[in-house]
Structure 1
Amino acid sequence: MENNNHPVLVIMAAGMGSRYGGLKQMDPMDERGHLIIDYSIYDAVQAGFREIIFVIKEENKQIFQERIGDRISSRVKVSYAFQRLNDLPAGYQVPEGRVKPWGTGHAVLSCFFAVHGSPFAVINADDYYGRDAFRKMYDYLAHNGDDTKYRYAMVGYQLKNTVTENGYVSRGICEVNDREELVGIHERTRIEKHPTGIEYTEDDGKTWTPLADDTVVSMNMWGFNYSIMNELLARFPAFLDRALKENPLKGEYFLPSVVADLLAEDKAAVKVMTTPDKWYGVTYKEDKPVVTAALKKMTEDGIYPPELLDGGEYC
């Protein structure tokens, strides 16, 4: 089933960046001052996206407008959605001492009205995904509406292309069937690259379990029809009931967890589109030189124009 509305790009940028330190989304990644977001927006526009929604903290709106929004608003439609800590269903309150945002599911839910019924892709502001991912995602969203099931998508990466040399990462480990559909996704919150290979632990490093280099993982590049919004809204109170009891200061409403529930209930099918591209990100400050060197080489190789969003090739 074709989609009548043009796909929208949602960029999640309200995270605190605690492991990196500071507002890492605003950290320049090349000598011209470009951010990782600039590369993602360039790739997204080349793929066909013409509308972008930034999910941010309300207090960061001015810096986002000055550094990004105003600069690209003549080329694409730009809007902002605020992920507010106190934006909760009636009858719920923010626990005393809570400062951490409510997670990726809540971030997407903050776009409930801004997306205006369109299909949309979701990415992190501080991750580099590669142009192949945006092309595949736009094409899927433009041509696949819901039918007897919700028709969603994700771009999967090989685990070996998503780890850092500078510490641990969290990844959604994906189980994929022979129809290239997601069967299940399991959050591993501490994955590290060791001399013997890539491994994860669930007991603070007492024991480690190996993972194959080509394990398909989610980097939070999802594609949804608008139906996900009603599911996120309906399931949020049940999450809060658990989180406020078990982990009131840090419990997060994870987007992949909601997708996993929909798969288990056979309400959704998620197409997994794999890419050979390498992911780059700045989980830690020590990651920045690796990212800047990679982006510089891609520019030298002609993958990106030197001026990116300011160049004539942008649209």
Structure 2
Amino acid sequence: MRQTVRKKWRLLSSKREERPIWFMWIKGRQKMDRNLMIMAAGVSSRMRKTAAAENSSELAKEAQVKPKMMLEVGEDSRPFMDYLLFNARDAGYRDVLLIVNDKDDSVRNYYTSHAVSPDFEGLIFSFAVQTVPEGRVKPMGTADAVLSGLEARPDWAGQKFTVCNSDNLYSVHALSLLLEDDHSAALIDYDRDSLGVEPERVNAFAIIWKSDNGYLADIVEKPCQEEVLKATDENGRVGVSMNIFRLDTDTILPLLKGTPLHPERDEKELTETVRMLVREREDSMFTVPLSEPVPDLTSLKDISTVQSFISLNH
């Protein structure tokens, strides 16, 4: 049975705008673990490939040398990840752990120098390095990224944390839903048709199956058409994961250590870790349904869409 909650309306102010934010105080719980891990160690291979193919605009040239989450967007020409951090701040997160690549210092240098900026007031930054093993050109995958983060923050033992990508602009609402969720683990169950992503790309997103009581039953990366049909509910809705989860450190840590390399992609994927969790423990991850767009910065052509979204929402 879910714990009863008492809601309180609170207004947070910032230099950009004032936003109403819901906070929830859970009966019998003295604190909320306001921990957020952002995976920012990827090498942006698809972005750089599309940028190299164009190679004419200044933006294309910038995309070939910068991690994609550090590309400057919006009227203020800020790194894309700034807007994700603004949303995280407004959602109530405080302790932000950035997973960075050992081959690139741009993320660490930028957020170290801007940590005292009024824009990030209330946020505390720390960093964990995901190393690229000898003989590889990119890191070992998202499960390895999360493991690197937890090993760098032993003080998160006994706590929960939210983990997400650095190249998706999750809303304040989505981030708040996970922060406020009182289950041991949870994920956002996005309506596939609401994401605002072209069909050929969204078809590769991880689809999810849910039990009748709303818990995750299975999750599959890059599903075939038969699996998509199986996951479609009676209303024609297909739930997908955008790689944003709320996890318990003590529960997920041993599973991360045991996550195998994917036989084809040669990476340790967080999706597989989550599958291991739900197979080991029934009703262990709650699904939180949500229908809204999630701007995605994968290739050069996504930048114009992201620019338009940010101009309307920030």
Asked if TM exceeds 0.5, the reply is: yes
- Aligned residue-pair number: 257
Is 1:263 matched with 2:278?
yes
Deviations, residues 79-127 of structure 1 (Å, cap 9, x unaligned): 11111123xxxxxxx5x4x212111100000012333223110011010
| Other-structure match for 2:128 | 81
SS of residue in 1 equivalent to 2:103: helix
Deviations, residues 260-313 of structure 1 (Å, cap 9, x unaligned): 1221122661111122221111111111111111111123xxxxxxxxxxxxxx
**Map 1:134-173 → 2, pairs under 5 A:** 134-140=175-181, 143-144=182-183, 151-162=184-195, 164-165=197-198, 168-169=201-202, 170-173=204-207
Deviates more, 1:52-61 or 1:164-173: 164-173
SS of residue in 1 equivalent to 2:149: coil
C-alpha contact (below 8 Å) 1:153/1:270 kept by paired residues: yes
**Structure-2 separation of matches of 1:295 and 1:152:** 30
Task: Give aligned-pair identity as a percent.
Answer: 25
Write the letter of the residue equivalent to 1:7: R
SS of residue in 2 equivalent to 1:99: coil
C-alpha contact (below 8 Å) 1:164/1:287 kept by paired residues: no
| Other-structure match for 1:223 | 246
**Map 1:103-142 → 2, pairs under 5 A:** 103-115=141-153, 116=155, 117=157, 118-140=159-181
Deviates more, 1:48-57 or 1:258-267: 258-267
Write the letter of the residue equivalent to 2:152: A
CA-CA distance at 1:35 after TM superposition: 2.8
SS of residue in 2 equivalent to 1:285: coil
Unaligned runs of at least 5 residues, structure 1: 87-93, 145-150, 190-199, 203-207, 300-315
Is 1:180 matched with 2:180?
no
CA-CA distance at 1:210 after TM superposition: 10
| Other-structure match for 1:193 | none
SS of residue in 2 equivalent to 1:178: coil
**Structure-2 separation of matches of 1:270 and 1:252:** 23
Of 280, 283, 288, the match for 1:273: 288
Question: Structure 1 pair 251/159, CA: closer, same or farther in 2 (3 Å)?
Answer: same
C-alpha contact (below 8 Å) 2:111/2:125 kept by paired residues: no
Is 1:38 matched with 2:82?
yes
**Structure-2 separation of matches of 1:298 and 1:176:** 32
C-alpha contact (below 8 Å) 2:196/2:293 kept by paired residues: no
C-alpha contact (below 8 Å) 2:195/2:292 kept by paired residues: no
- RMSD between superposed Cα atoms in Å: 2.6
C-alpha contact (below 8 Å) 2:208/2:231 kept by paired residues: no
Deviates more, 1:218-227 or 1:158-167: 158-167
Q: Calculate the TM-score normalised by the size of structure 1.
A: 0.73
Question: Structure 1 pair 60/2, CA: closer, same or farther in 2 (3 Å)?
Answer: farther
Of 111, 128, 142, the match for 1:68: 111
Q: Calculate the TM-score normalised by the size of structure 2.
A: 0.74
Write the letter of the residue equivalent to 2:130: Q
Is 1:214 matched with 2:214?
no
Write the letter of the residue equivalent to 1:35: P
Greater relative contact order (Cα < 8 A, sep 6+): 1
Question: Structure 1 pair 68/40, CA: closer, same or farther in 2 (3 Å)?
Answer: same
Question: Structure 1 pair 288/176, CA: closer, same or farther in 2 (3 Å)?
Answer: same
CA-CA distance at 1:5 after TM superposition: 6.3
Question: Structure 1 pair 267/232, CA: closer, same or farther in 2 (3 Å)?
Answer: farther
Write the letter of the residue equivalent to 1:82: V
Deviates more, 1:65-74 or 1:177-186: 65-74
CA-CA distance at 1:131 after TM superposition: 1.2
Question: Structure 1 pair 138/298, CA: closer, same or farther in 2 (3 Å)?
Answer: same
CA-CA distance at 1:38 after TM superposition: 1.5
C-alpha contact (below 8 Å) 1:152/1:271 kept by paired residues: yes
SS of residue in 2 equivalent to 1:154: strand
| Other-structure match for 2:36 | 9
